[in-house]
Structure 1
Amino acid sequence: RRFGYGGYRFIEGRWAPVAKALIETYGLKDGSSVLDVGCGKGFLLYEMQKILPGLKVVGFDISRHGLEHSHEQVKPYLFNYRAQDVYPYGDDSFDLVISLGTLHNLRLYEIEAAVKEIERVGKNKYIMVEGYRNVAEMHNLECWALTAESILHTSEWIWLYGKLGYTGDYEFIYFE
């Protein structure tokens, strides 16, 4: 719990539907490249590579705890890094950049830097964050989101993406 991972452990196949959807939606194939910003323990990247063994994966996370407990098969492709720092990659380096459940853990000025970097290094982009649509969901989010720094209404996230020139896909999860 201290690291925001609670009992988060590997469960075979749990991330497989998400991995399959990302591969199909973005037309990934052997030789395609994926960057996971805030990869945690790398479980999604592992499932993606299981489905598509020729997929080139890279992930980074701020949590040394998460990286130390990552899946052994993808551990060599993961490193410790902050989402809001300039990424060590050139423009359009990746066929897909994903960030699931990470950006709401940053302050607004850090979100700006991270979104601009995701936009810069990815040909395709997909971001998922926690948001809220009403007071009850805001309350639940405030109680549940242990590491969240930016608790924003869905409309605020959408406005922010537009303001920052983000052209990728996005989605929200809610605590109803």
Structure 2
Amino acid sequence: MALREFVSLVHKSTKRDYVARVTQRDKADVAEMAIKFDFDYWDGSRETGYGGYKYDGRWRKVADAMVEAYGIKPGMRILDVGSGKGFILHDFLESVPGVEVAGIDVSTYGVEHTMEDVKPFCQVGTASKLPYSDKHFDLVISINTLHNLYNYDLYAAFKEIERVSRGAKYICVEGYRNEREKVNLMYWQLTCRAFHTPEEWDFVFKQTGYTGDHEFIFFE
């Protein structure tokens, strides 16, 4: 299990006004809207989520980095747990023509608005119970998803990722290293359920038997 820096390629390019997130509108109200993972979360205002989650190619550099790191070849199978609108799956197809992709997301809206070329391979479902056979995928990824689960589903999700993988695994979750980052995370997040330091996340990995790679997103 190794610390990787894939999502950091795009995460640090976004500027965030942490204080505005909690002063512009009632944070509890917008969080209630966001956790439905419907229109407001994906394509509503920035206060309730992404503020319009459109494909802009930014995930291609992440996909390319993963392809190189994990030696992805045509015919290999990739699963994205928390696939959203399928942007990185689309980029995997462009990066390695002939690769097989699959995606699962709790958001019906997200799956319905998934990019057309990968939409047939995506479905609505939960990370805690993946509808795939054992050791089916050569690479399983989950980006900024698992921290949205309560601990019982979180632990189950890690075990499921282990079960369906026959090769590499990579997850990215939010975390904090100090009080400032914890406060910024609390200000910025809308759907997060698991607030952990890197040491606590390592504990979760060990408890669930997760053996893949990981990355932490911090709000500095």
Give the TM interval when normalised to the shorter protein.
over 0.9
Whether 1:169 aligns to 2:213 is yes
DSSP-derived class of the 1:95 partner? strand
Residues 85-129 of structure 1 show CA distances to partners (whole Å, capped at 9, x for unaligned) of 2x2222210000000000000001111000000011112100000
- What does residue range 5-20 of structure 1 map to in structure 2 within 5 Å? 5-11=50-56, 13-20=57-64
Q: After TM superposition, give the deviation of residue 6 of structure 1 in Å.
A: 2.5
Aligned with residue 55 of structure 1, among 96, 99, 106: 99
Distance in 2 (alpha carbons) for counterparts of 1:15 and 1:34:
15
Distance in 1 (alpha carbons) for counterparts of 2:150 and 2:208:
15
DSSP-derived class of the 1:157 partner? helix
Distance in 1 (alpha carbons) for counterparts of 2:180 and 2:163:
36
Aligned pair count reads: 174
Structure 1 counterpart of 2:88:
44
- What does residue range 1-176 of structure 1 map to in structure 2 within 5 Å? 2-3=40-41, 4-11=49-56, 13-85=57-129, 87-122=130-165, 123-176=167-220
Letter in 1 for 2:157: A
Q: After TM superposition, give the deviation of residue 63 of structure 1 in Å.
A: 0.7
Letter in 2 for 1:129: V
Q: Which runs of 4+ in 1 moved over 4 A?
A: none
Letter in 1 for 2:140: V
- RMSD, aligned CA: 1.1
Distance in 1 (alpha carbons) for counterparts of 2:96 and 2:139:
14
DSSP-derived class of the 2:137 partner? coil
Distance in 2 (alpha carbons) for counterparts of 1:113 and 1:27:
28
Which protein has the bigger helix share?
Answer: 2
DSSP-derived class of the 1:34 partner? strand
Q: After TM superposition, give the deviation of residue 65 of structure 1 in Å.
A: 1.4
Distance in 2 (alpha carbons) for counterparts of 1:126 and 1:133:
21
Residues 139-166 of structure 1 show CA distances to partners (whole Å, capped at 9, x for unaligned) of 1111111110111111100111011111
Structure 1 counterpart of 2:12:
none
Letter in 2 for 1:31: G
DSSP-derived class of the 1:49 partner? helix
Gaps of at least 5 residues in structure 1 are none
Gaps of at least 5 residues in structure 2 are 1-33, 35-39, 42-48
Q: After TM superposition, give the deviation of residue 136 of structure 1 in Å.
A: 0.7
Q: After TM superposition, give the deviation of residue 30 of structure 1 in Å.
A: 0.4
